Amino acid sequence: MSRGLMVGLVLGVMVGTAYGQPNLLTNGSLEVGVDVGTHVELPVGSTGISGWLVIVDPIDYIGTMIPASDGNRCVDLNASPSSGGIAQSFATIPGETYNVSFDLTSNEMTGPAARPVRVQIDGGTIYDYSGVCQP
Ligand SMILES: [Ca+2]
Protein backbone atom coordinates (compact mmCIF):
# COMPACT_ATOMS: atom_id res chain seq x y z
CA MET A 1 0.00 0.00 0.00
CA SER A 2 1.23 3.47 -0.83
CA ARG A 3 1.32 6.25 1.73
CA GLY A 4 2.06 9.72 0.45
CA LEU A 5 2.88 13.19 1.72
CA MET A 6 2.43 16.17 -0.54
CA VAL A 7 3.30 19.85 -0.33
CA GLY A 8 5.01 21.76 2.43
CA LEU A 9 8.41 21.44 4.03
CA VAL A 10 8.46 18.10 5.78
CA LEU A 11 11.21 17.53 8.25
CA GLY A 12 10.55 13.94 9.23
CA VAL A 13 7.78 11.37 9.19
CA MET A 14 6.78 8.64 11.62
CA VAL A 15 4.13 5.95 11.50
CA GLY A 16 3.61 3.62 14.46
CA THR A 17 0.85 1.48 15.88
CA ALA A 18 0.95 3.45 19.14
CA TYR A 19 2.90 6.37 20.50
CA GLY A 20 6.27 5.20 21.68
CA GLN A 21 6.27 2.25 19.29
CA PRO A 22 8.95 1.80 16.63
CA ASN A 23 8.60 3.75 13.41
CA LEU A 24 7.19 1.51 10.68
CA LEU A 25 8.64 3.68 7.94
CA THR A 26 12.04 3.17 6.41
CA ASN A 27 14.23 6.24 6.81
CA GLY A 28 11.44 8.30 8.41
CA SER A 29 13.81 11.12 9.27
CA LEU A 30 15.02 11.22 5.67
CA GLU A 31 18.65 11.00 6.75
CA VAL A 32 19.79 8.32 4.28
CA GLY A 33 20.02 9.17 0.61
CA VAL A 34 22.09 10.74 -2.12
CA ASP A 35 24.66 13.38 -1.30
CA VAL A 36 22.82 16.68 -0.93
CA GLY A 37 25.26 19.42 0.05
CA THR A 38 22.97 22.38 0.65
CA HIS A 39 20.13 20.74 -1.32
CA VAL A 40 19.46 18.79 -4.47
CA GLU A 41 16.38 18.58 -6.68
CA LEU A 42 14.97 15.08 -7.08
CA PRO A 43 12.65 14.41 -10.04
CA VAL A 44 9.46 12.35 -10.11
CA GLY A 45 10.42 8.69 -9.93
CA SER A 46 13.57 9.36 -7.92
CA THR A 47 14.52 6.98 -5.13
CA GLY A 48 17.32 9.28 -4.03
CA ILE A 49 15.92 9.29 -0.50
CA SER A 50 16.29 5.71 0.70
CA GLY A 51 12.91 4.05 1.16
CA TRP A 52 10.97 6.89 -0.49
CA LEU A 53 9.71 7.55 -4.01
CA VAL A 54 9.17 11.04 -5.39
CA ILE A 55 5.60 10.82 -6.71
CA VAL A 56 4.57 14.37 -7.62
CA ASP A 57 6.73 17.04 -9.27
CA PRO A 58 10.33 17.60 -8.32
CA ILE A 59 11.14 18.10 -4.66
CA ASP A 60 14.19 19.53 -2.94
CA TYR A 61 16.10 17.15 -0.71
CA ILE A 62 17.59 19.51 1.86
CA GLY A 63 20.98 19.25 3.52
CA THR A 64 22.61 22.28 5.08
CA MET A 65 20.33 24.88 3.50
CA ILE A 66 17.61 24.58 6.18
CA PRO A 67 17.95 23.16 9.71
CA ALA A 68 16.10 19.84 10.12
CA SER A 69 14.05 19.17 13.23
CA ASP A 70 15.59 15.71 13.50
CA GLY A 71 19.05 14.93 12.17
CA ASN A 72 20.49 16.87 9.26
CA ARG A 73 18.14 16.35 6.33
CA CYS A 74 14.55 17.16 5.34
CA VAL A 75 12.52 17.76 2.17
CA ASP A 76 10.97 20.85 0.66
CA LEU A 77 7.88 19.58 -1.14
CA ASN A 78 7.01 23.02 -2.43
CA ALA A 79 10.35 23.80 -3.96
CA SER A 80 9.36 23.67 -7.59
CA PRO A 81 6.72 25.91 -9.18
CA SER A 82 4.05 23.43 -8.10
CA SER A 83 3.50 20.97 -5.28
CA GLY A 84 5.64 17.89 -4.80
CA GLY A 85 5.17 14.64 -2.95
CA ILE A 86 6.95 11.58 -1.59
CA ALA A 87 5.59 8.16 -0.73
CA GLN A 88 6.53 4.75 0.56
CA SER A 89 4.75 1.47 1.15
CA PHE A 90 4.70 -0.62 4.30
CA ALA A 91 2.75 -3.57 5.61
CA THR A 92 -0.38 -2.95 7.66
CA ILE A 93 -2.79 -5.13 9.59
CA PRO A 94 -6.49 -4.67 8.77
CA GLY A 95 -8.37 -3.13 11.69
CA GLU A 96 -5.21 -1.85 13.37
CA THR A 97 -4.95 1.87 14.20
CA TYR A 98 -1.85 3.70 13.03
CA ASN A 99 -0.50 7.05 14.19
CA VAL A 100 1.07 9.29 11.55
CA SER A 101 3.19 12.21 12.69
CA PHE A 102 5.54 14.60 10.96
CA ASP A 103 7.22 17.94 11.51
CA LEU A 104 6.25 20.80 9.21
CA THR A 105 7.51 24.33 8.76
CA SER A 106 7.80 27.04 6.15
CA ASN A 107 10.93 27.47 4.10
CA GLU A 108 12.75 30.25 5.93
CA MET A 109 13.78 31.68 2.55
CA THR A 110 10.15 32.37 1.62
CA GLY A 111 8.81 33.29 5.06
CA PRO A 112 5.45 32.49 6.64
CA ALA A 113 2.79 31.46 4.18
CA ALA A 114 0.06 28.87 3.80
CA ARG A 115 1.74 25.48 3.63
CA PRO A 116 -0.85 22.88 2.77
CA VAL A 117 -0.05 19.26 3.44
CA ARG A 118 -2.05 16.22 2.43
CA VAL A 119 -1.48 12.72 3.75
CA GLN A 120 -2.92 9.93 1.64
CA ILE A 121 -3.23 6.20 2.08
CA ASP A 122 -3.91 4.18 -1.04
CA GLY A 123 -4.96 7.38 -2.81
CA GLY A 124 -7.51 8.35 -0.15
CA THR A 125 -6.89 11.52 1.84
CA ILE A 126 -6.66 10.96 5.59
CA TYR A 127 -5.35 14.40 6.56
CA ASP A 128 -5.36 17.90 5.06
CA TYR A 129 -3.60 20.87 6.62
CA SER A 130 -3.75 24.34 5.13
CA GLY A 131 -2.48 26.62 7.87
CA VAL A 132 0.38 29.07 7.99
CA CYS A 133 3.67 27.89 9.39
CA GLN A 134 6.36 30.10 10.86
CA PRO A 135 9.88 29.37 9.60
CA1 LIG B 1 15.81 14.41 9.25
Position 1 confidence tier, pLDDT thresholds 50, 70, 90: very low
Query: How many angstroms does the Cα of residue 36 sit away from the middle of ligand 1?
Result: 13
Domain coordinates in residue numbering, the chain: 2-133
Would the pLDDT of 128 be above 60?
yes
Cα of 26 from ligand 1 centre, angstroms: 12
In the reported structure, the alpha carbon of residue 63 is separated from the centroid of ligand 1 by a whole-number distance in angstroms of: 9
Cβ < 5 A residues, ion ligand 1: 12, 29-30, 68, 70-71, 73
Each residue of 69-82: pLDDT tens digit? 889 999 988 776 67
Average of per-residue pLDDT across 96-112: 76
- Sign of the torsion formed by the C-alpha atoms of 127, 79, 64 and 39: positive
Cα separation, 93 vs 106, whole angstroms: 34
Answer for the pair 135, 14: CB distance below 8 angstroms, yes or no.
Answer: no
